[in-house]
A and B are shown apart, each in its own frame.
Chain A
Amino acid sequence: DTEVTQTPKHLVMGMTNKKSLKCEQHMGHRAMYWYKQKAKKPPELMFVYSYEKLSINESVPSRFSPECPNSSLLNLHLHALQPEDSALYLCASSPKFSGRGGDEQFFGPGTRLTVL
């Protein structure tokens, strides 16, 4: 299994809703990432988990709450979002850090989020 899966594919939510995005990989990777991509823009890093511990938070608002229950699963919990949070949310994974630059990141298909 050489892929990263994300569910749901599409999500529409109101500003008062609570929802979660899910990401899974079964490649034995020990680093997992959340990125946000607005239309016509490049992806921007949000969070990095290394060995199931949060290692990087790119000053993301607290209405986004990541969780890594185990080495294969990454969640992004959403609460009280704003319309400007509408975007494509991408998950990625990579092998444990080799220190030699060989940590290729593999991306899932993304969840298209619309906040009304």
Chain B
Amino acid sequence: KQEVTQIPAALSVPEGENLVLNCSFTDSAIYNLQWFRQDPGKGLTSLLLIQSSQREQTSGRLNASLDKSSGRSTLYIAASQPGDSATYLCAVGILTGGGNKLTFGTGTQLKVEL
């Protein structure tokens, strides 16, 4: 059974800092990996998708990397802003006969302070 862990569980940083969120998973036979953000009481917003054959993806100030062999992904946020405050979830996809099953990590709660 795939297990996904995110470290740290919570993070508080001053505005402008560059930061790294970590995600580790136990089964390296993944289909893809997705990073999401979730604001309190809201749905999930997809940030980046990394296919199993890819090593990294970039979108604006966000960069995600994937190392399947070591079971790790990192999300790098450059020049953090208060609007980045949210919970960040990584989700590992495993392709089954029924489709792509996402298993979510427990999340990193980020607060960016002025």
Residues of A within 8 A of B (CB): 6, 31, 41-45, 48, 50, 55-56, 88, 90, 92, 94, 97, 99-110, 112
How far apart are the CA atoms of A43 and B104 in the complex, in Å?
Answer: 7
A residues in contact with B45, CB < 8 Å: 107
Give the size range of B's interface with the partner: 20 to 34
Which residues in B have their C-beta under 8 angstroms from that of A55? 97-99
Contact with A along B58-98 (1 / 0, CB 8 A): 00000000000000000000000000000001010101111
A102–B89 CA distance with the chains assembled, in angstroms = 18
CB-CB nearest in chain B for A109: B43
B26 at the interface (CB under 8 A from A): no
Among residues of B, the one whose C-beta sits closest to the C-beta of A32 is B99
- Complex: how many Å from CA A106 to CA B32? 14
Contact B98 A48 (CB under 8 A): yes
